[in-house]
């Protein structure tokens, strides 16, 4: 059983001490979680704002009356970690962003790498796939009780990724890299962009383009990780190697 109250996302935090949680979040709290008077929950705006609340009672079939008992503004983590995640076929793409969100990613950029089997073409199918990633991230942030919900950007090709990496600490995960992540000097402020390739790996041409933009190629450890788990492992290491977890 979780030791922390469940978290629900709203567009804006209530300004007063009493408000009604309705809509999809209210339905989830009232009919799925079945929260009762006196039980605690947290409401977040997804950009650092938190309101600790207690259920006063039902406001309707699918809504709850809440009383605010405390407010907190949580600063964004530093350094900020952006995950450039290559498109992965099937449910593994959604697993990748779910795990990355739970591990603390601050933003996720879908990357159309040259060796991706999955293809997000422009149009309804691509928009549907992107919406699934965004919904997965939102639900994972709630599950992890995160006050900051990561942005999921529109997909980019390698040229767009090069622009993203330029001026940041770019780290391309590659199992055959000479240097490990623990050997790299990481900043305590600014952006770190973690580039996760597809199952077929990052091509030599892509590595060259990213290194020309200032990125470094690094390995995580002695084992070979799936494209769906690499970002989460990297985030854990960065959390321990920087002040993000302090």
One domain for residues 66 and 84 = no
Kindly tell me if the per-residue pLDDT of 1 is higher than 80.
no
Rounded distance between C-alpha atoms, residue 129 and residue 44, angstroms: 26
Q: How many domains does the chain contain in total?
A: 2
Q: Is residue 116 part of a domain?
A: yes
CATH code at position 122: 3.40.1280.10
Whether residue 1 is contained in a domain is answered as: no
In the predicted model, is pLDDT for residue 122 greater than 90? no
pLDDT for 191: 97
Closest to 77 in 3D by CA, of 53, 39, 107:
107
Q: With beta carbons less than 8 A apart as the criterion, state whether 186 and 136 touch.
A: no
Residue 2 domain-assigned (yes or no): no
Q: Cβ neighbours of residue 97 under 8 Å, at least 6 residues apart?
A: 83, 85, 105, 108, 133, 136, 137, 140, 152
Give percent of the chain with pLDDT exceeding 70.
99
CB atoms within 10 A of CB 120: 19
What average pLDDT does the chain have? 94
Domain annotation covers residue 159: yes
Residue 66 lies in a domain: yes
Confidence of residue 174 (pLDDT cuts 50, 70, 90): very high
Query: In this predicted structure, which of 40-49, 125-134, 153-162, 219-228 has the lowest mean pLDDT?
Result: 219-228
Q: Is the pLDDT of residue 2 over 90?
A: no
**Side-chain-facing half-sphere of 44: CA atoms under 13 Å:** 22
- Checking if the pLDDT of 224 tops 50, the result is yes
Are the C-beta atoms of 196 and 230 separated by less than 8 Å? yes
Q: What is the pLDDT of residue 121?
A: 81
Higher pLDDT: 106 or 223? It is 106
Residue 208: domain span = 80-241
Is pLDDT of 27 > 80? Answer: yes
- Phi/psi of residue 194, each to 5°? -95, 120
- Spatial strand order in the sheet of 151-152: 151-152, 107-111, 80-86, 191-196, 169-173, 216-219, 179-180
């Amino acid at each position: 059983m979780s030791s922390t109250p469940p978290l629900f996302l709203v567009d804006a935090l209530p300004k007063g001490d009493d408000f009604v949680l309705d809509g999809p979040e209210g339905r989830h709290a009232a009919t799925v979680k079945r929260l009762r008077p006196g039980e605690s929950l947290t409401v977040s705006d997804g950009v650092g704002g938190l309101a600790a609340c207690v259920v006063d009672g039902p406001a309707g079939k699918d809504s709850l009356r809440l009383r605010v008992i405390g407010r907190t503004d949580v600063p964004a983590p530093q350094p900020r970690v952006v995950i450039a995640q290559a498109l992965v076929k099937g449910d593994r793409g959604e697993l990748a962003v779910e795990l990355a969100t739970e591990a603390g990613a601050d933003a996720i950029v879908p990357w159309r790498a040259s060796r991706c089997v999955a293809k997000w073409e422009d149009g309804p199918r691509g928009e549907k796939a992107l919406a699934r990633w965004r919904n997965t991230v939102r639900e994972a942030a709630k599950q992890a009780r995160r006050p900051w919900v990561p942005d999921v950007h529109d997909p980019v090709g390698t040229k767009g990724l090069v622009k993203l990496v330029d001026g940041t600490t770019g780290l391309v995960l590659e199992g055959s890299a000479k240097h490990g992540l623990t050997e790299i000097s990481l900043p305590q402020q600014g952006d770190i962009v973690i580039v996760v390739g597809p199952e077929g790996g990052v091509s030599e041409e892509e590595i060259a383009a990213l290194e020309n933009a200032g990125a470094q190629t690094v390995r995580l450890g002695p084992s070979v990780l799936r494209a769906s788990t690499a970002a989460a492992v990297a985030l854990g290491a960065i959390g321990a190697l920087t002040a993000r977890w302090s």
